[in-house]
A and B are shown apart, each in its own frame.
Chain A
Amino acid sequence: MKKFFASAFLATAIVGCGGEIETEVGQPAAEIETEKFRLSMKTKFHTEGELVKFMTASASVVTVEADFYRGKPWVAMVFEAGAEPGVDLPLHYQWGTVPDELEFDYAPDMDFDPGAYDMVAMVYAGTEMTPEMMNGTILDLPFPANKDVTTFTLDQSTVRENDPDFAPGMIRVNLGMTHTDVVCENRWSTEQHSETERFASFTNTYLILP
């Protein structure tokens, strides 16, 4: 699988505004068809009244009007495990819009072989995204900033032996012989001197970028 994607890397064409990355390299004729499975990422931003809180990388808690995120574009991607966002092409990506209830699902319209994958999602709330940017190459997206939020986890227990580490911002998903969902929520804690609290608030969460 790795070699297949590596050899296909240079012969890629990005499909419209989301979708599987098409390649000109076909499946080897002799390859045995294996069962594939779905994976998805569910996002939920919890609110306090009309406010939403996020942690920064420096562990402060920032409160923002929930409306700041409503109607803003999100993009989510699936990568081969160990990939580097912004450098490697995703296997799949999708754009969407944050709904009023601040919950959205990234459910790729393709299935994946069992194995390790890395997923990332970002909401461009402060960075203005033009149609040209959203329709352009997925590798040239602006770096999140200005209260944009992006997935993050400190939990490395998901990295199995002999699997590569994941890049910061990525969420490792180990797809077994079943469909798999990962959930990311805005977590925060003001008890940052508690190791347990600190770890929990930095697990499968969204960080806000300055």
Chain B
Amino acid sequence: MKTRLLCLGFFAVLNCSNETPSEQVIETPEEWPIDPASGLRVPAHAPLPPVPEWADNPFNEAKRKLGRALFFDPRLSSSGNGNCPACHASFDAFQSGGIVDIPDRSFPNLEPKLTRNAPSLLNLVYAPVFRWDGSHGTNLYEQMALPFAESNMNLTPGIPAEDVHHVDVPLAQVELKRRLTEVVPGYIEWFDAAFDVDITEESLEDVWIMSGKALSIYIRGAVSKNSAFDRWNAGDDSAMSEAAVRGLKVFVGKGACNACHPGPLFSDFQFHNLSLSLPDENGVRPDEGRYGVTGNEEDRGAFLTPMLRSVTQTAPYFHDGSVGSIRRVMRHIASDASRKDPNYSPLLDRVQDLTDEEIEDLVQFLKALKGEELPVSVTSFALQNELP
């Protein structure tokens, strides 16, 4: 049994096989004994490790309070109405629940919209790469500050609403510092408490990064963990239904889901083409995905594998939010529709046809990945008396 589980773990990280479904045999266990070494039934999907500690950004409560304020404060958007929860609602698994969202640059109109679905921020603190196409680097602090320079928060005066993708970091750095020191000067004291600095004397870049650091500290609380699956994985038979256990077998077996969704976070953090942005007669896709970052042909139409913890709370799905039902997601992946793009991921060849019953079982397993409730201190709206 242990050998089988190790093999499954091997499949999980070996994601460039050319095997065809007929060549591969994925055995799924009839039973799930505890692996003595790890104390888990499925060591490949171990519980989340503790939230990472950052030597260059140690936790303190003042930083968390500051990050929370920066996350919720609409005064840090161009219109005075936008804030991070507009697309990453803390009460809604840190995503918006919409297909695509309206950036602050469009306020007060509904158009133009953003063109990709706002992914959940749950477990982002563990992620080695961000965004559907992996753009804008791998530095979490920069990622957390970047929306101020995008149409999302729009601290970029003068950029017209129709230019929805225009990003100007230097311009936004000026405006962010102005807002933090002049528009809402109460932030000066809050930064002092968090970082022991006077931001009026700090450079634009340093204020920018400190803002990203504080936001990063806040979203350390946005963690989906201690799911029913984790309890079952540690030996609690009653934590998952029989259907969910059957779903797990499909997940690591016929469905080959763990080929792209391995590990504690259920993502390989790679980019795959699932035929969601098909090329037209000229070979041009509506969204070229990762190709726009790397310029590599094999990245055309490829998007980042999302993490799956709490996935049933984060509909709609895929980079464009085009699929609202998690069952449809699985039907797409398990059908020829996912292999229409000439550049489709070869990993899809591992996925076998799934019956409706198997898809239902998979849904029950994915429901079992829902994390424990987040504390109110993380999810609640910032009240006025919690802002500077």
Contacts and interface: CB of A to CB of B under 8 A. Distances in A.
B315 interface: yes
Contacts of B98: 57, 143, 145, 209-210
Contact of B104 (A58, A62, A145, A193): A58
Given A10-B243, A87-B363, A145 B81 contact: no
Contact of B113 (A139, A167, A192, A210): A210
Interface in B106-120: 107-108, 110-111, 113
Nearest to A59: B81
Interface string A112-147: 000000000000000000000000000111110101
Contact of B325 (A6, A139, A209, A210): A139
Nearest to B77: A58
A168 B316 contact: no
Given A59-B81, A86-B315, A210 B384 contact: no
Given A86-B324, A210-B113, A58 B86 contact: yes
B279 to A, nearest CB: 24
Contacts of A195: 383-384
B4 to A, nearest CB: 27
A143 B321 contact: yes
Contacts of B364: 9
Interface stretch (B30-38, B88-96, B207-215, B299-307): B88-96
Interface in A48-89: 56-62, 84, 86-87
A140 B328 contact: yes
Contact of A60 (B81, B321, B357, B381): B81
B241 interface: yes
A168 B86 contact: no
Interface residues of A, number: 31
A141 B324 contact: yes
A75 to B, nearest CB: 13
A87 B367 contact: yes
B313 interface: yes
B324 A57 contact: no
B373 interface: yes
A56 B102 contact: yes
A114 to B, nearest CB: 24
Contact of A62 (B82, B110, B315, B316): B110
A60 B99 contact: no
A122 to B, nearest CB: 11
A61 to B, nearest CB: 7
Contacts of A86: 315, 324-326
B315 A143 contact: yes
Interface residues of B, number: 45
B360 interface: yes
Contacts of A147: 110
B78 to A, nearest CB: 12
Interface string B343-369: 000000000000001001001100100
A157 to B, nearest CB: 13
B101 interface: yes
Contacts of A62: 108, 110
A128 B79 CA distance: 32
Nearest to B98: A209
A154 interface: yes
| Interface core residue of A84, A143, A195 (most chain B CB under 10 Å) | A143
B325 A168 contact: no
A90 interface: no
A210 B100 contact: yes
Contacts of B96: 57
A108 interface: no
A143 B101 contact: no
Interface of A: 6, 9-10, 56-62, 84, 86-87, 139-143, 145, 147, 154, 165, 167-169, 192-193, 195, 208-210
5 contacts: A58-B101, A58-B107, A60-B108, A61-B108, A142-B324
Interface of B: 74, 79-83, 86-87, 89, 91-92, 96-102, 104, 107-108, 110-111, 113, 241, 243, 312-313, 315-316, 321, 324-328, 357, 360, 363-364, 367, 373, 381, 383-384
Across the A-B interface, the 6 shortest Cβ-Cβ residue pairs: A143-B324, A58-B86, A168-B92, A143-B316, A60-B108, A210-B102
